[in-house]
Amino acid sequence: MNDEYKEERKRMVDLLRRQGVSTGVLEAMNRVKRHLFVPPELRDQAYGDYPLPIGGGQTISAPHMVAMMCEYLKLEKGDKVLEIGAGSGYHAAVIAELIGTEGRVYTVERLPLLVDFSTRNLRDAGYKNVVVVSGDGTLGLPEHAPFDKICVTCAAPSVPPPLLEQLKTRGRMVIPIGRYIQELYLVEKKNGIEKQSKCEVAFVPLIGRFGFR
Ligand code: SAH
């Protein structure tokens, strides 16, 4: 298929490489056509390293943030992953590349507009192992639990208890926490729960039963 943004994508990947992103994540991001996940009028900006508006007051995260979250999750072939906040579907597509066809991504989205947008984008880009689910992601998806990895792409007041419950033992979760000042946490479920703050971030709020109201 004709790939009109190949050069722009290579430049994005080269920039991420210089920031220390691993080969696996770089290769995955080089395979996902990010321009298919932004509104058509923003396609020329799709490979810049910054967030872009996707409708409903929401944003597609900057490429370096997607890369960093994938690194912390240590995604492996065959993983079953839960994402909260499908948005454009882009991050789910990158995860799908990393876990391969044996793996599966369930991504939950609360805004119907973005359920449609992400479903369409993922279908048009050819991702068959990603399922977009409409609803409140703070409740998780008990019918598909437990998950190897959980990726929360909006900022929560604290870790929603259902997500902790639905994470496998030895599973990993990344989640931004905070309202104005937010930190990205890596949560690991071992014998107990280990929480590590990684860096300051800026995400849209997680709104729901165990999120902000
Ligand atoms: N991962 C997305 C970025 C999405 S921005 C991408 O790659 O484009 C965060 C998204 O979380 C928004 O679409 C917002 O509507 C959604 N969101 C906020 N609270 C939510 C909740 N409780 N359940 C599901 N989605 C939620």
Q: How many CA atoms lie within 13 A of 201 on its CB side?
A: 28
Catalytic residues: 61
Q: Which atom of ligand 1 is nearest to the CA of 37?
A: 8
Predicted confidence at residue 1, as pLDDT, reads 59
End-to-end CA distance of the chain: 44
**Global pTM?**
0.98
Radius of gyration of the CA atoms of the chain, in A: 16
Tell whether ligand 1 has an atom less than 6 A from the beta carbon of residue 52. no
CA dist., res. 12 & res. 46, Å (int): 10
Tell whether ligand 1 has an atom less than 6 A from the beta carbon of residue 108. yes
Predicted confidence at residue 34, as pLDDT, reads 98
Under 8 Å between Cβ of 142 and 161: no
Tell whether ligand 1 has an atom less than 6 A from the beta carbon of residue 61. yes
**pLDDT digits 0-9 by tens, 145-193:** 999 999 999 999 999 999 999 999 999 999 999 999 999 999 999 989 9
Q: Average pLDDT across each block of 10 residues of the chain; the chain has 213 residues. List them in order.
A: 89 98 98 98 98 98 98 98 98 98 98 98 97 98 98 98 98 97 97 96 98 96
For ligand 1, atom 13, name the residue with the nearest CA. 87
Tell whether ligand 1 has an atom less than 6 A from the beta carbon of residue 85. yes
CA dist., res. 111 & res. 150, Å (int): 20
